[in-house]
Amino acid sequence: MSAYIAEMDRGGMQDRVDGIAHRARSRLGTGKLADYIPALADQDPNRFGIAVCTNDGRVYAAGDAQEVFSIQSISKVFLLALALRACGGELWSRVGLNPSGMPFNSLSQLEAEQGKPRNPFINAGAIVVADHLVSAFATPAQHIQDVARRLSGNPSILIDRRVLESEWQHRSRNAATAYLMKSFGNIANEVDDVLYAYFACCSLGMSCVDLARALNFLASAGYARCADEQFVTPALARKINSILFTCGMYDAAGDFAYRVGLPAKSGVGGGIVAVVPGKLSVCVWSPLLDASGNSVAAQYALELLSNELASNGT
């Protein structure tokens, strides 16, 4: 059993997490696997994991919380935090701050809006953010892998080469997105270099425990406990949470805000990370997705957690 589990508390939060895992399992079987790349289409649809990291650093986990999965678009949170640390607010002249109301890989607004993506959490926005990081770092993919390791305290986190290869072979839509933006002057580097950095980040393999710990800085006013560093300023953590709240769940952001009411980011690997500012971060993973690309069982688990925290006055 890993050191993470050894440090888990068995008090009220653990009972709560166990109860939520039990109830959320009733939603397994609903939705469909991501099938845009073969490497994700062969996931076990019955997996379910949840990990809560409270701001004192304790982790409460249940189900397949230690199993590594493809973080996909959850990586857009790392990308954004790093770009804002490296380049500050100049990013916002190239990427917007409003929900798109469109699927995450849609191209239709880009042409009409001169190649400026609506926000940093749709694919087009994350590709512009990746372009910033290609300009700022000699080896951006390596840098993000290192940051994920540092923030989670897990030195064995890796980019999954099989997923990366699959992303690269099926890159047509993201490549079209990047070239369209380049035609408007909104991509500075070679498209292949930018796409490689973007796909490498999507291909990071992490567990619910890793992600709950790595993104806890958003609940802790920017302080990353595992790394023992102020990773972003309190003001920046608040801003990132605001963008997560309005844009983190794509065209379902409004529905999710109504149901759950927390800043959150999903990925087509089936993971969702959510933040209760000042209290805790949580990651839930289950591979079957709804039509917007968000995990069905993970959303339900977060709804249960949010209801429990509210009724408990937490």
Binding site for ligand DON (CB under 6 A): 72-73, 104-105, 123, 167, 174, 202, 266-268, 293
State which residue, 75 or 186, has the beta carbon closest to ligand DON. Answer: 75
- Residue 250 annotated in active site: yes
Residue of closest CB approach to ligand DON: 73
User: Whose CA is closest to 8, among 158, 278, 151, 213?
Assistant: 213
Which position among 250, 260, 286, 295 bears the catalytic label?
Answer: 250
- Residue 106 annotated in active site: no
Instruction: State yes or no: 123 annotated in a binding site.
Output: yes
**Using an 8 Å Cβ cutoff, are 20 and 50 in contact?**
yes
Instruction: State yes or no: 268 annotated in a binding site.
Output: yes
State which residue, 126 or 236, has the beta carbon closest to ligand DON. Answer: 126
State which residue, 194 or 268, has the beta carbon closest to ligand DON. Answer: 268
Dist. CA 279–CA 290, nearest whole Å: 28
- Residue 268 annotated in active site: yes
Instruction: State yes or no: 4 annotated in a binding site.
Output: no
- Residue 239 annotated in active site: no
Strand spans (E) along the chain = 49-54, 59-63, 69-70, 158-159, 204-206, 223-224, 229-230, 264-266, 271-276, 280-285
Number of CB atoms found within 10 A of residue 38's CB: 13
State which residue, 23 or 32, has the beta carbon closest to ligand DON. Answer: 32
Q: What is the dihedral of CA 99, 141, 50, 221, to 10 degrees?
A: -70
The residues facing 264 across adjacent strands are 274
The residues facing 61 across adjacent strands are 51
Dist. CA 88–CA 151, nearest whole Å: 20
Which position among 4, 59, 60, 73 bears the catalytic label?
Answer: 73
Instruction: State yes or no: 119 annotated in a binding site.
Output: no
- Residue 223 annotated in active site: no
Q: Annotated binding site for substrate: which residue ranges?
A: 73, 123, 167, 174, 198, 250, 268
Which residues are tagged catalytic? 73, 76, 198, 250, 268
Q: Annotated binding site: which residue ranges?
A: 73, 123, 167, 174, 198, 250, 268
